[in-house]
Amino acid sequence: MRQSFALSKLSLSFFLFASTALLLQGCSEAPQTPQAAMQPASVATVIAATEDAPFTIELPATLSGSKEVEVRARVTGILESRNFDEGQTVTKGRSLFTVDLEPYQLALERAQAAFDGAKASLVQAQRDVKRLGKLRAEKSVSQRDYDNASSTTDIAKTNLAAAKVALKEAQLNLEYAQVKAPVAGVMGREFVSEGTYVSGPDLLLTQITQLDPIRLRFGISEREQLQMRQDEANGSLTLPQSGHWQTSIKLQDGSIYSKSGLVNFSDVRINPNTGTSELQAIIPNPDFKLRPGQFVRVSLKGAVRKNAFVVPQRAVLDNGMGKFVYVVARGEQGGTIARPAPVVVGEWVQKPANAGDKNFWLIKSGINAGDEIIVDGMARIFFPGMPVAVNNATHSVSAE
């Protein structure tokens, strides 16, 4: 037993000795050349330069009809008929409801008769004055008789004027018995049915909405307005003349509506509840694709950032502490390296007509004119200061 244990211990010692010898031999035969250097990452770049960049604001907005009118009767009476279909498109002046016409037709005839009588009375009074005037010259009638005839003529003129007003009023009432569309638009539902007694303008009959053009309403925050004014004052931003921003609409499915419009109203007041001031734009809607109450996003265009730095959005990275770009710089050994440059970004800048990149970041600070910004190959940069090789020919570089 002891002999077996001694042999095992001797075998283990021999194995350890042999392994150590082989390891030392291997180390003595290792190559003495220095470790191969890391290969530089292939990247593409653009040269930072200032330009006049479009300034765009995107905001939530609500649509409403350009005109939303409540239809009411101007006269009283029984509602005899409804002359439209709910949801129908009507033209201005179209008859929508008919109030019982007979009472107003009779009133018109009565007023016409009164007018004719007043007119005849005036003619008779004028004849009397003319006749008495000749007799007065011959001293055949007294001055008093002549004066009475003249007064009768004046009274007849007044009566005729009153009869004329009454006739016009009767004509209007008969016309108002036909309740007509005040604007062209789309009819809403009826609120009063045929046979109902209409008490005049206090009773709402229906509503009509003008959809073409359509109205777009949205708000800009006080903070954004102050910032734009400051940028305009220091010359870095040019705003549209008279506040007439160009507008385009993005629908809920992300599609862009084909028509565009202009801002035609900007409220000078700030809403204390929302901290925004209301703006309004009018947009053509010939096919009625846009509907009142619809929520959309509006893009305001027409302003320009002066002498601005813009870089493709893909070039701007985020390390959790802020945004940065990689700038090509010279390393200590003289080679080119990727140096991270913290930047302060502004708004997105879109260039839809650009052949390459269409979305850019406005850079407020952090880069200088002439900096070589890395825009492609950032995934190959594993640490700040990593060697890079600029090879724009093999990358998609389209910042212009």
Average pLDDT over residues 189-202: 94
The pLDDT tens digits of the residues spanning 306-351 come to 999 999 999 999 999 999 999 999 988 888 999 999 999 988 888 8
Question: What pLDDT is stored for residue 394 in this prediction?
Answer: 52
Q: Where are the alpha helices (H) located in the chain, listed in sequence order?
A: 2-28, 102-137, 143-176, 222-233
Q: What is the pTM of this model?
A: 0.68
Are residue 270 and residue 227 in the same domain, yes or no?
yes
CA 101 to CA 80: how far, in whole Å? 9
Are residue 268 and residue 380 in the same domain, yes or no?
yes
In this structure, is residue 20 part of a structural domain?
no
- Range of 299's domain? 46-64+211-394
In this structure, is residue 7 part of a structural domain?
no
Average pLDDT over residues 198-202: 93
Q: Which of 131, 283, 149, 150 is nearest to 216 (CA)?
A: 283
In this structure, is residue 11 part of a structural domain?
no
Residue 125's domain is classified under what CATH number? 1.10.287.470
CA 41 to CA 335: how far, in whole Å? 12
Count of residues for the chain?
400
Are residue 130 and residue 230 in the same domain, yes or no?
no
Question: What pLDDT is stored for residue 37 in this prediction?
Answer: 61
Are residue 217 and residue 350 in the same domain, yes or no?
yes
In this structure, is residue 293 part of a structural domain?
yes
Facing residues of 65 across strands?
214
Structure tokens at 201: 């303008």
- Provide CB contacts within 8 A for 334, sequence distance 6+: none
Residue 97's domain is classified under what CATH number? 2.40.50.100
Q: Is 287 helix (H, G, I), strand (E, B) or coil?
A: coil
Q: Which has the minimum average pLDDT: 8-12, 50-54, 184-188, 341-345?
A: 8-12
In this structure, is residue 5 part of a structural domain?
no
CA 129 to CA 152: how far, in whole Å? 9
Are residue 309 and residue 196 in the same domain, yes or no?
no
Q: Is 263 helix (H, G, I), strand (E, B) or coil?
A: strand
**CA Rg value for the chain:** 45
Q: Which of 147, 148, 150 is nearest to 126 (CA)?
A: 150
